[in-house]
Amino acid sequence: MFRVKDVILSEDIARAKFACDVTRCKGACCVVGDAGAPIEKDEIPAIRKAFHLLKDELSSEARKTVETDGLFQGDSEKGFEISCIDNKECIFVTYDENETATCSIQKAYYNGRLNWEKPVSCHLYPIRLKNISGLEFANFEYMPEMCGTACDRGEAEGMYLADYLKAALIRRYGEEWYNEFRDHCLDVRKKNDQ
């Protein structure tokens, strides 16, 4: 573990090689799992806005899930997560011509229809955050069935997870934090090579 300001990070985040390979995993992180993407309370208005804009483009199962279960689950104490269809795929998933799961929120953002890219937990994945006693803990949540291909691609391209997630980490913590984080990552890698 290493610390950058009020964030404690697993050393795997510094050492792992990773670069999404969505053509091979088919967007598994949006589909596989037993819970929806964690969201922060201040993200709820953006999620509501996205749903109202995109609901006619979502599957009938997604719309039905929202009608019966709501857009999200949870509360301020336990945390919130986006609702999923049958505890599997995110309600915002759409599929492209290759049957790859894509995020309709992110697609709308790239097309200039929304000014919010997606929940920060999705942007940071496969890093997962947990808050304990005022400190944030960040762990690399490696699931071979979802991210094995991303680790293979990262290894082949020499891309570290810490570099791959630069934009997401800056979005979460800021540029100054990221620069300090990068220095720590280099130190962790040097120690690992010794």
Beta carbons within 8 Å of 11's beta carbon, 6+ residues apart: 1, 2, 188, 192
Tell me the mean pLDDT in the region 25-43.
89
Give me the pLDDT at residue 194, please. Answer: 65
Q: What is the mean pLDDT of residues 75-100?
A: 92
Cα separations (Å) of 50 from 62, 116, 117?
13, 9, 10
pTM (whole model) above 0.75: yes
Domain residue ranges of the chain, discontinuous segments joined by +: 1-18+126-194, 27-119
CA dist., res. 40 & res. 136, Å (int): 14
CB-based contacts of 181, cutoff 8 Å, min separation 6: 4, 9, 162, 169, 173
Q: Per-residue pLDDT for 189 more than 80?
A: yes
In angstroms, the CA 56 to CA 59 distance is 8
Please give the DSSP secondary-structure letter assigned to residue 27: S
Contacts of 131 by beta carbon, 8 Å cutoff, 6+ apart: 137
Q: With a cut of 80, say whether residue 66 has pLDDT above it.
A: yes
User: pLDDT, tens digit, for every residue of 151-168?
Assistant: 999 999 999 999 999 999
Mean pLDDT of the chain: 93
Question: Which pLDDT band holds residue 146 (cuts at 50, 70, 90)?
Answer: confident
Count other C-beta atoms under 10 Å from residue 175's C-beta.
10
pLDDT at 108 over 90: yes
